[in-house]
Amino acid sequence: LAELAARGLSGLGELVEGADLGELIARALQAQHPVRPLHDGQVVAIAHKVVSKAEGAVVDLRTVTPSPRALELAAEASPTPLGEHKDPRMVQVVLDQSRELVRSAKGVLVSRTHHGFVCANAGVDASNSAAPEIAIVLPRDPDRSAREIRGRLRELTGAAPAVVISDSFGRAWRHGQSDVAIGCAGLNPLDDWRGRTDSAGMPLRATWLAVADAITGLADLVRAKDSREPVVIVDGLERFVTPGDGPGAAALIRPLEEDLFR
Of 62 and 174, which has the nearer Cβ to its own copies? Answer: 174
Angle (nearest 5°) at CA 63 between 57 and 68 = 105
CA 232 from centroid of its chain's CA atoms: 13
Write down the least CB distance from residue 176 to its own copies, Å: 3
Pairing of strands 43-47, 162-170: parallel
Helix (H) or strand (E) holding 105: strand 98-105
Distance separating alpha carbons of residues 55 and 39, to the nearest angstrom = 26
Q: How many residues bind its own copies (CB under 8 A)?
A: 83
Of 53, 259, 37, nearest in space to 161 by CA: 37
In the region spanning residues 66 to 105, those forming contacts with its own copies, defined by CB under 8 A, are 81-82, 84, 103, 105
Interface with its own copies in residues 172-211 (CB under 8 A): 172-180, 189-191, 193-200, 202-211
Q: How far is the CB of 53 from its own copies (least distance, A)?
A: 13
Instruction: Decide: is 254 part of the binding site for its own copies (CB under 8 A).
Output: yes
Cβ 135 to its own copies shortest distance, Å = 12
Closest separation in Å from C-beta 55 to its own copies? 20
3 state DSSP class of 224: coil
Within 101-160, the residues that bind its own copies by CB under 8 A are 103, 105-106, 108, 110, 112, 117-118, 120, 125-130, 132
Count the Cβ atoms, other than its own, within 10 Å of residue 33: 13
Residues 207-236 contacting its own copies, CB under 8 A? 207-211, 213-215, 217-218, 220-222, 225-228, 235-236
Which residue, 68 or 175, has its beta carbon nearer to its own copies? 175
Q: For residue 37, which of 26, 45, 47, 48 has the smallest C-alpha distance?
A: 26
Contact (CB, 8 A) for 160 and 39:
no
If binding is defined by CB under 8 A, does position 162 make contact with its own copies? no
